[in-house]
Amino acid sequence: MKITDNLNPKQLEAVQTLEGPLLILAGAGSGKTRVLTHRIAYLMYEKNVYPNNILAITFTNKAAKEMRERLEKLIKQSVDNLWVSTFHSACVRILRREIEVLGYTSNFVIYDNADQQTLIKMILKDMNLDEKKYTPRSIITQISSYKNELKSPTSAKKTAENYYDEVTCDIYEKYQTRLKENNAVDFDDIIMLVVLLFQKDKEILQKYQERFKYILVDEYQDTNTCQYMLIKLLAEKHHNLCVVGDDDQSIYGWRGADIRNILNFENDYQNTKIIKLEQNYRSTQTILDAANGVISNNSDRKSKSLWTDQSGGDKVYLHTAHDELSEANFISRKIREMSKENSLGFNSFAVLCRTTVQFRAIEDGLIRNQIPYRIIGGTKFYDRKEIKDVLAYLKILVNPADEISLKRVINTPKRGIGDTTWDHLKRHATNKNITVFEALNTPEEAGVSSRATNPIKNFKKIMDEFIILSKKTDITNLTNTILADTGYIEELEAEKTIEAATRVENIKEFLSVTLDYDTKNPGGDLETFTAEISLFTDIDNYDQNEEAISVMTIHAAKGLEFPTVFIAGLEEGIFPHIRSINSGNNTELEEERRLCYVAITRAREKLFLTNAWSRMIFGRSTSNAKSRFLDELPLELIESEARIKTKATFTKNVETQIVTKTCNSSYDVGGKVEHQKWGIGVIVSVKGSGEDAELNVAFPDLGIKKLIAKYAPISII
C-alpha cells in the first residue's frame, strides 16, 4: 500500500506540500492526525529525509503516543529516532543536553504545582508577607503568565501597574533564584529556558536549526508567546514549517494561548500556503450543522464549514429541567434507557460540563440510577499525598539539592525532625553556602537539638545508601527498598484505617507504573523516569474501553469523541460563563462560543443539550435565562419536549377553558397559565413576546417562578 492511499484530495495536498511554510486549517474530526503521520512517512520514504531531521510537536502525551503508534503501523518499524513529542518533552531533552550554559546542571528536577506552592510559601514567610493577601495560587498564576510571555522579573516589573504587581515581581525574582539554587525548574521554565538558551548561544541554536529541517506543529491555535518564539527560532533557517490547527477550537486563552498566532500565520511567514480540511469523518451532518450554526456567530475566525458524507442524523435534543437534580436525573435515565434499548456500553456516553461545580449533581444522578461513571479531572493519581511522598524520595536521589522534596520527606515517616530543626538546617546551609542535604552531615554545627541529631544522621545515611543503590538497580526494586527501609508502608499498615489501606493500594499501583517503565526501558535511568512522571497529565490516563460514563469539563474533552454526548448547564452565567459575560470583552465571549463548538463536535451520532429553570450554586439558588448559544442553533435541527407539545392540539376544557398553546400565543400580565408540575399560576410580569417571552409567574405556596415560554411545560388558561 502506498503512503498516499486512502487520503482525500485536500489531505493528499497537505501531505505532499513539503517545502516552505504551510498552514493546515483542520476542522474538528477532519483527520489531522492522519495527515501529520502520513506527511512524516512521506518525508521519510518518498523524499528520503533522515528521521532525526524531523521534529513533530503535539500538546499532550496522549496525542504524541497516538501519533507514534500510527506511524509505526504505517511504516512497519520503530520510530524511536523520531522526535515526536510534546513541547515540554522535546524541551526537556534539549535542556538535559544544554542547560549547563544557563548555570544549571543536567540532573535538574521539575517542580509541580504543589512544589511551587511550597516554595512560594517559604518566600512569603521570608519576606514577611501575608499569605491571605498574596495567595500562593494567584502568585503562581501570575508568574506563569509572565513566563509564557517571556518576561523576566526585571521586564515584568517595568509593566507593573500597582504596588501589588511590584511585590509580585519581587516574589518572582526570589522564586527564580531559589529554583536555580535547588537546581529545579517549573513547568513553564521548561520551554522558556530553551528559548533563552537559543537567544543566548547562537551555536546551540544553529545546531538544532540544522538538525530539524522539517518541523510539524499540531494544535497551533493553542500556542502561547513562548511556544510561538521557540518554533520561530527553530524554523528561521529552513522555513519548512507545517502547522496544523483550528482557530475555531482555540479555547485556552485563559492560560496564555494566543489565537493571533494562527490567525496571523501567513503574515509571519512569507509565501505561506493555506489548505483547509473541512470534510469531517466523525459526526453526522446534523451535528455539524449545529456546530457551524453556533461558530458562524464569531467574527475573529477564518471562514470554513464542516461537512460529511454521513447525511442526516438524529436531531439535537433539548431538555429543560426544573433544577440541577432533575437535569441529572434526566441525563441518567436517558443513558440507561438508550444503553438498554440499543445494547450500548456505558463508555459510549459522555457528560460535558462547563465547570466542575456541575459535577456534584451529575454524580448524584448517576449514583441514584446505579450507572458506573468516572470523573476526568478529579484528584489526579500523581497528586495524591502518598504518591508525591514516594516521588519526593526518588527526586532527591536524582538531585540532592532539591530542597522542596527534601523538606517533604525528611520527617515522613515521622523521625522527630520538626520545623524548628529544619529552620536550623536551612539557616546553616545558607550561611555555609551549601545545600541542606549537605548540611545533614553536620547537624551539630547547625545548632539543632541533641534529640534530633541522631535521626538526622540516620536519615542522611539511608539516603546516601539509596543514591548508591539507584546507580545499580531498576526503579521498581529501588522504590520497594525505599518503602521498606524507611518504614513508610509499615507506618501506613499500622494505622489500620480504610484511608491508610487505600494509600497502600495506590502505592502498589505506582509500583505497576515503575514496573511498566522498567520493562519498556531496560537500563532506563531514574532521571528520565521522574521527568516523564512530572509531565504526565490526567487525560493521558484516559481509557476509552473502560465500561463507565465519562464526566468531564469541556476543556478536558478536547481531542476526545463519543457516540453520544450530553452538554449540561446551557444557561447564561453557566455557559457562557459569568466571567465572560461580565468582562464586557467580546474576545472572551467568542472563546466561550468556540468552547461550545468544541463540545458539540465531540458527538458522533447523538447530541443532547440540557439546562434548568433554577440551579443551586455555592449554596444559593439562582435562575438564569437560557444560553444564547441555544438561539444560535438552526431551529430546524432541534427537537424538544416543548416543541413536541406545541405540535399537539389541546381540546377545549369546559371547567378551565384551556386553549391551544402555539408559538404565537400571547401572554398578558394578570393572565393564568397551568404548569404541569406546579399547577395554576398568575402571570405577574412579561418580558418579550411569543415563544421567546420570559414570564414571572406566581404559584400558590411556591412563590414567583421565572419561566421561558418556549420551553416551559405550561398552557394558557
Binding residues: 26-33
Q: Interior CA angle at 107 toward 103 and 108, to 5°?
A: 65
Q: What does the alpha-carbon distance between residue 217 and residue 268 come to, in Å, rounded to a whole number?
A: 15
- How deeply is 370 buried, as exposed, middle or buried, from its count of CB atoms within 10 A (0-12, 13-18, 19+)? exposed
Q: Which parts are annotated binding residues for ATP?
A: 26-33
Q: Are 566 and 362 in contact (CB under 8 A)?
A: no
Helix or strand holding residue 398 (H, E): helix 385-398
How far is the CA of 423 from the CAs of 48, 178, 230, 430, in angstroms? 60, 16, 40, 11
Nearest CA to 631 among 353, 318, 358, 323? 318
Residues with a known catalytic role: 32-33, 218-219, 249, 602
Contacts of 308 (CB under 8 A, 6+ apart): 279, 280, 281, 282, 283, 284, 285, 288
Q: What does the alpha-carbon distance between residue 423 and residue 123 come to, in Å, rounded to a whole number?
A: 13
Q: What does the alpha-carbon distance between residue 660 and residue 681 come to, in Å, rounded to a whole number?
A: 17
- Grid cell, residue 274, equals 493555506
Q: What does the alpha-carbon distance between residue 152 and residue 149 come to, in Å, rounded to a whole number?
A: 9
For the chain, the straight-line distance linking the first and the last C-alpha, in angstroms and rounded, comes to 70
Q: What does the alpha-carbon distance between residue 151 and residue 157 come to, in Å, rounded to a whole number?
A: 9
Please name the residue that has the C-alpha cell 540532592: 400
Q: What does the alpha-carbon distance between residue 274 and residue 48 come to, in Å, rounded to a whole number?
A: 25
- Grid cell, residue 162, equals 500597582
Q: What does the alpha-carbon distance between residue 647 and residue 556 come to, in Å, rounded to a whole number?
A: 38
Handedness of CA 562, 567, 568, 574 (dihedral sign): positive
Side chain identity, residue 488: Y
DSSP per-residue string spanning 88-140:
HHHHHHHHHHHGGGGT--TT-EEE-HHHHHHHHHHHHHHTT--TTTS-HHHHH
Q: What does the alpha-carbon distance between residue 181 and residue 563 come to, in Å, rounded to a whole number?
A: 51
Helices 526-534, 498-520: axis angle to 10 degrees equals: 120
Q: What is the DSSP letter of 571?
A: B
Q: Are 169 and 155 in contact (CB under 8 A)?
A: no
Q: Are 279 and 251 in contact (CB under 8 A)?
A: no
